[in-house]
């Protein structure tokens, strides 16, 4: 028998009363006024939605940490309009910034560099470095043009959970959260990339990837030569936000190969929702959320599928990992983290 359904639609939002989801293009001025008053604004980027405040507004930065429930030592990425806006944020210069900017900006590559002494420690998790990038989204760009200064913006999810790739995801996550009343969410449609930026540390030699993302190590190596990549994705000391469990839904998650999934489902007495390739056979009553075979499309849909799985009513989520090939590395990384046991 066929699986009961394929792509489950998320349930309607209970309320949008607590947060204001607005059409982005018409509300740039309102967003700038909110930011100028020290209130966070949710902005779409090409990666995921971000919870933005001025990098130099320390109390607004503190508010972002509170709203997200983010650990204080996990620094924020500063978003800037162009490479020229990077220099005031960093201490000195770096010869690889311009070539990387030429190759990858605007786009989902974040560079970690020594922070200028003027950058508040609150914005960088008390570290001596700052992460910067130029986002490739017309609304983020419009906001950065209209607002004087960089915008620090972590992903707009509650800490540890799945990043939002639509305005509805943000509204859903902040609906019942104290302090999110009247939070302005600029709806810029679904995010194009759908997973977070690649984070590249330029403070070491050779440069090192701290977080995998849609800019591949191959693209970066073509510009900078050899690079190091963190193989085990839980090295908290270097990238505090890369805790092993991350991007996780609320229901339990296991990762599988197609064969181990078959065994698992044949013995299952509970209801399982499966995220796996289109050609997978998943028999009812279990549910099958199909992930596209194309990496770009799969990235775009990944978090939406994980959220749908969470809301599907199933007892647990089984994910079939894509092949261990470089092009799938960032997606595999997210799925492995989503299935990691909760930290003690
Ligand atoms: P998010 O805000 O959810 O996109 O996460 C931002 C990521 O960038 C986290 O993994 C942070 O730990 C990492 N990050 C931000 N600033 C720095 C920094 N100065 N040094 C190392 N990693 C950073
Ligand atoms: Mg995040």
Residue 167: pLDDT over 90: yes
Domain-embedded: residue 238: no
Task: Give me the pLDDT at residue 9, please.
Answer: 39
Question: How close is the Cα of 77 to the center of ligand 1, in Å?
Answer: 6
Question: How close is the Cα of 154 to the center of ligand 2, in Å?
Answer: 6
Number of domains, the chain = 2
Q: Which residue has the tokens 């509970």?
A: 270
Helix axes 295-310, 167-174, angle to 10 degrees: 30
**Predicted confidence band at 6 (pLDDT cuts at 50, 70, 90)?**
very low
Asked if 168 and 10 touch (Cβ cutoff 8 Å), the reply is yes
Residues 288, 188 share a domain: no
To test ligand 1's pocket by mutation, which of 74, 90, 110, 159 has the most ligand atoms within 8 angstroms of CB? 74
Measured from the Cα of 131, ligand 1's closest atom is 16
Q: Which residues fall within 8 angstroms of residue 37, CB to CB, at 6 or more apart?
A: none
Question: How close is the Cα of 186 to the center of ligand 2, in Å?
Answer: 18
Q: Which residues fall within 8 angstroms of residue 121, CB to CB, at 6 or more apart?
A: none
Measured from the Cα of 211, ligand 1's closest atom is 10
Task: Give me the pLDDT at residue 239, please.
Answer: 55
Measured from the Cα of 124, ligand 1's closest atom is 19
For 271-318, the pLDDT digits (tens) are: 999 999 999 989 999 999 999 999 999 999 999 999 999 999 999 999
CA atoms within 13 A on the CB side of 200: 29
Q: Whole-prediction pTM value?
A: 0.91
CA gyration radius, the chain: 20
Residue 1: pLDDT over 50: no
Task: Give me the pLDDT at residue 340, please.
Answer: 83
Give me 233's structure tokens.
């994705």
CA distance 65 to 79: 17
Greater pLDDT, 11 or 53: 53
**Ligand lying nearest the CA atom of residue 197:** 1
Greater pLDDT, 235 or 35: 35
Residue 14: pLDDT over 80: no
Domain-embedded: residue 237: no
Residues 149, 32 share a domain: yes
Residues 122, 211 share a domain: yes
Residues 220, 287 share a domain: no
Task: Give me the pLDDT at residue 235, please.
Answer: 47
Domain region containing 258 = 253-338
Asked if 194 and 299 touch (Cβ cutoff 8 Å), the reply is yes
Domain-embedded: residue 276: yes
């Amino acid at each position: 028998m066929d699986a009961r359904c394929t792509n489950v639609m998320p349930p309607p939002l209970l309320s949008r009363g607590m947060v204001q989801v607005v059409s982005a293009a018409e509300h740039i001025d309102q967003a700038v006024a909110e930011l100028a008053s020290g209130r966070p604004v949710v902005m779409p980027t090409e990666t995921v939605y971000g919870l933005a405040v001025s990098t130099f507004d320390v109390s607004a930065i503190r508010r972002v940490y509170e709203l997200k429930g983010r650990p204080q030592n996990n620094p924020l990425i500063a978003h800037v309009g162009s490479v020229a806006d990077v220099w005031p944020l960093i201490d000195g210069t770096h010869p690889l910034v311009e070539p990387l900017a030429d190759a990858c900006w605007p786009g989902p590559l974040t560079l970690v560099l020594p922070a200028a002494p003027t950058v508040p420690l609150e914005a960088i998790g008390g570290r001596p470095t700052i992460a910067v990038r130029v986002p490739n989204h017309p609304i983020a760009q419009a906001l950065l043009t209209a607002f004087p200064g960089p915008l620090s913006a972590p992903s707009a999810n509650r800490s540890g959970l799945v990043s939002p790739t639509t305005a509805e995801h943000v509204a859903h996550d902040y609906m019942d959260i104290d302090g999110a009343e009247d939070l302005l969410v600029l709806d810029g449609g679904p995010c194009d990339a759908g997973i977070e930026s690649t984070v590249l540390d330029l403070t070491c030699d050779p440069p090192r990837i701290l977080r995998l993302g849609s800019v591949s190590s191959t693209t970066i190596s073509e510009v900078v030569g050899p690079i190091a990549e963190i193989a085990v994705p839980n090295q908290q000391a270097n990238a505090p936000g890369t805790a092993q469990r991350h991007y996780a839904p609320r229901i339990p998650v296991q990762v599988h190969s197609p064969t181990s999934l078959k065994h698992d489902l044949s013995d299952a007495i509970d209801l399982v929702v499966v995220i796996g390739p289109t050609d997978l056979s998943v028999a009812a009553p279990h549910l099958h959320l199909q992930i596209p075979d194309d990496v770009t499309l799969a990235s775009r849909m990944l978090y939406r599928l994980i959220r749908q799985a969470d809301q599907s009513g199933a007892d647990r989520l089984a994910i079939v990992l894509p092949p261990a090939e470089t092009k799938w590395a960032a997606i595999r990384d997210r799925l492995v983290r989503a299935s990691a046991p909760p930290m003690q």
